[in-house]
């Protein structure tokens, strides 16, 4: 079995699963309980927070645990909107965001907020100049994805941050769900990024856990109110087994980060170089962007047909974005924002790699592709 759908979700790492099981079995007390069984969980919670903060170069009090990327994006966006509605109701985002951002913006629009969706070029890139021009007196938030989940475009987060230095009151949120370990993330006191969202299951931690970085001093309203966990910012009993195992997964992901990126890039380049030899293949991923994502289409063949053809070889790829591919229509996709016509966007497939994938798997993928491509040529003439 060859799993090339790692941007949809990853297989949990065995030692991460061990941590999950151990914490579930041995430290089941509630971290908020005053008795002895709450003590170790409370310490473990603090340790996990400190470890994650340390790994990404921020302070422990700037990390809040969530249920994953969707919650993090909803919180950063709506939490800022609610907190700052007295000052303004204008938000800037892009046309190449994940639905967790896009739909949050749409909902805020329906409640009276005004949202500017910045256009993207044919590589899926937005322009810091366009962003500057879109800023208004009443702009309270800028939300931009770091690494696009459909095609792997890496946005110029640092340059956008430079533009925003002239507007210190605007919150800058970055959806970094596809970014951990894959690109350099510049967080911490010197960075202009105020919030960044991460999701455990994208880096070999369990499902249903994630974290958000919120820069010290930046205020956002909580969305989940209740028992006051996470310093009153995100109520709900902490999912300690998932949190502790995610902190391990963050460390493992960032261990030998550069070597892993080189390995991913080599595999991606091998597939790209091969696909470039095929007359009827169009590659949508721009060169030298994220090392783990490659989006392409075979002329005249719908993406789902190709997915199922690979399935017969026990190779698992996706159409563009697995979390939305069953539900979302092509018109609101990244490819559409890049100006790809609908009938071509519908051919799109995404290969998304993880560090444990091998060159041998890439060779097997190429061999299967050859056969599938030939078969399609025979059928389509
Ligand atoms: C860029 C991006 N943002 C947000 C999400 C949502 O994350 P989650 O699945 O943890 O809710 C995803 C999931 O694919 C994503 O790729």
Q: Tell me the domains of the chain and their CATH numbers.
A: 2-9+256-380 (3.90.1150.10), 14-254 (3.40.640.10)
pLDDT in tens, 104-138: 999 999 999 999 999 999 999 999 999 999 999 99
On whether the CB atoms of residues 140 and 109 are closer than 8 A, the answer is: no
Buried b (16+ CB within 10 A) or exposed e, 261-281: bebbbebbeebbebbeebeeb
**Other CB atoms within 10 A of residue 331 CB:** 10
Q: Who's near 311: CB < 8 A, 6+ residues apart?
A: none
Spacing, Cα 89 to ligand 1 middle (Å): 25
CA distances from 81 to 100, 107, 223 (A): 15, 11, 11
pLDDT in tens, 317-349: 999 754 444 444 566 689 999 999 999 999 999
Spatial separation of the C-alpha atoms in residues 250 and 211, rounded to whole Å: 11
Spacing, Cα 208 to ligand 1 middle (Å): 11
pLDDT in tens, 266-277: 999 999 999 999
Beta bridge partners of 210: 66, 199
Site residues for ligand 1, CB cut-off 6 Å: 68-70, 73, 98, 100, 145, 149, 175, 177-178, 199, 210, 323
Spacing, Cα 166 to ligand 1 middle (Å): 30
Question: What pLDDT does residue 323 have?
Answer: 45
Q: Shortest CA distance to 29 belongs to which of 21, 20, 40, 43? A: 40
CA–CA–CA angle 111, 141, 229 (5° rounding): 80
Question: What pLDDT does residue 210 have?
Answer: 98
Spacing, Cα 117 to ligand 1 middle (Å): 19
On whether the CB atoms of residues 56 and 250 are closer than 8 A, the answer is: yes
| For the CA of 100, the nearest atom of ligand 1 | 4
| For the CA of 201, the nearest atom of ligand 1 | 10
Enumerate the active-site residues: 323
Question: What pLDDT does residue 321 have?
Answer: 54
Q: Shortest CA distance to 124 belongs to which of 95, 100, 162? A: 95
Residue nearest to atom 9 of ligand 1 (CA): 69
Q: Who's near 175: CB < 8 A, 6+ residues apart?
A: 69, 72, 73, 97, 98, 100, 101, 143, 144, 145, 146, 196, 197
Structure tokens that stand for 363 in this block: 């060779």
**Other CB atoms within 10 A of residue 5 CB:** 19
């Amino acid at each position: 079995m060859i799993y090339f759908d790692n941007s949809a979700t990853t297989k949990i790492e065995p030692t991460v699963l061990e941590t999950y099981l151990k914490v579930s079995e041995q430290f089941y007390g509630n971290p908020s309980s005053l008795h002895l069984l709450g003590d170790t969980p409370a310490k473990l919670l603090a340790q996990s927070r400190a470890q994650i903060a340390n790994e990404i170069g921020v302070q422990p009090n700037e990390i809040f645990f969530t249920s994953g990327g969707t919650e993090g994006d909803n919180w950063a966006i709506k939490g800022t909107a609610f907190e700052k509605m007295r000052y303004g109701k204008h938000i800037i985002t892009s046309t190449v965001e994940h639905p967790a951002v896009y739909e949050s913006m749409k909902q805020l629009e329906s409640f009276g907020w005004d949202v500017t969706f910045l256009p993207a070029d044919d590589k899926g890139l937005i322009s810091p100049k366009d962003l500057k021009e879109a800023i208004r007196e009443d702009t309270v938030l800028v939300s931009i994805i770091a690494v696009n989940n459909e095609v792997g475009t890496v946005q110029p987060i640092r340059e956008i941050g430079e533009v925003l230095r002239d507007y210190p009151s605007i919150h800058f949120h970055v959806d970094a769900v596809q970014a951990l370990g894959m690109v350099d993330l510049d967080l911490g006191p010197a960075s202009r990024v105020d919030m960044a969202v991460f999701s455990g299951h994208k880096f070999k931690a369990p499902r249903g856990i994630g974290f958000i970085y919120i820069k010290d001093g930046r205020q956002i309203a909580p969305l989940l109110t209740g028992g006051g966990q996470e310093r009153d910012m995100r109520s709900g009993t902490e999912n300690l087994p998932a949190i502790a195992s995610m902190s391990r997964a963050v460390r493992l992901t960032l261990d030998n980060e550069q070597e892993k990126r080189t390995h991913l890039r080599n595999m991606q380049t091998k597939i790209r170089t091969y696909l470039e030899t095929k007359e009827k293949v169009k590659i949508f991923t721009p060169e030298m962007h994220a090392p783990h994502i490659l989006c392409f289409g075979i002329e005249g063949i719908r993406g789902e047909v190709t997915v199922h053809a690979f399935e017969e070889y026990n190779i698992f790829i996706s159409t563009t974005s697995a979390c939305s591919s069953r539900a979302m229509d092509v018109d609101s996709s990244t490819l559409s924002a890049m100006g790809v016509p609908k009938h071509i966007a519908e051919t799109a497939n995404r290969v998304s790699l993880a560090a444990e994938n091998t060159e041998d798997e890439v060779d097997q993928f190429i061999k299967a592709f050859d056969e599938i491509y030939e078969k399609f040529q025979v059928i389509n003439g």
